[in-house]
Amino acid sequence: MAAEEQREKHKAMSEYLRFLTTLSTGSLVLLTSFLEKIASQPELGASIRNAFTGFTGCVVACVVAYSIMTLNFGSNISGLKGTVIGIAVYIAWISFLFAIVALMNFGWTYF
């Protein structure tokens, strides 16, 4: 039964990481479309760069965590692998929140 629980945990975590990756990737595409419109306003460049950095960091951290989980699917992940996954998830969260704050700053400044 422990192996089945571990598989379910991996599935839930994989879906969560996929969700964060999808949100971040979509946001990167949206930001790219805004670049043309704000090229004439360099004061907004820092907010856009921060958002790009945050969303890219989130995607990379999610890919690291997701890759380790996929390679060890169904088995109990502990030790260094578990620590790396935990750190990657925290980095993904911090990066995502950093990017959202940068977008809020952009929105408040631009509009």
Q: What does the pLDDT average to over 56-70?
A: 92
Q: Is 111 helix (H, G, I), strand (E, B) or coil?
A: coil
pLDDT tens, position by position, 68-88: 888 777 666 777 777 888 899
pLDDT in tens, 32-44: 887 777 767 777 7
pLDDT of residue 1: 45
Counting Cα atoms < 13 Å in the Cβ hemisphere of 62 gives 24
Confidence (pLDDT) at 111: 67
Q: What is the pTM of this model?
A: 0.83
Nearest Cα residue to 24 out of 50, 48, 59: 59
Establish how many alpha carbons lie within 13 A of residue 66's alpha carbon, considering only the half-sphere containing its beta carbon. 17
How confident is the model over 87-111, as pLDDT tens digits?
Answer: 999 999 999 999 999 989 888 876 6
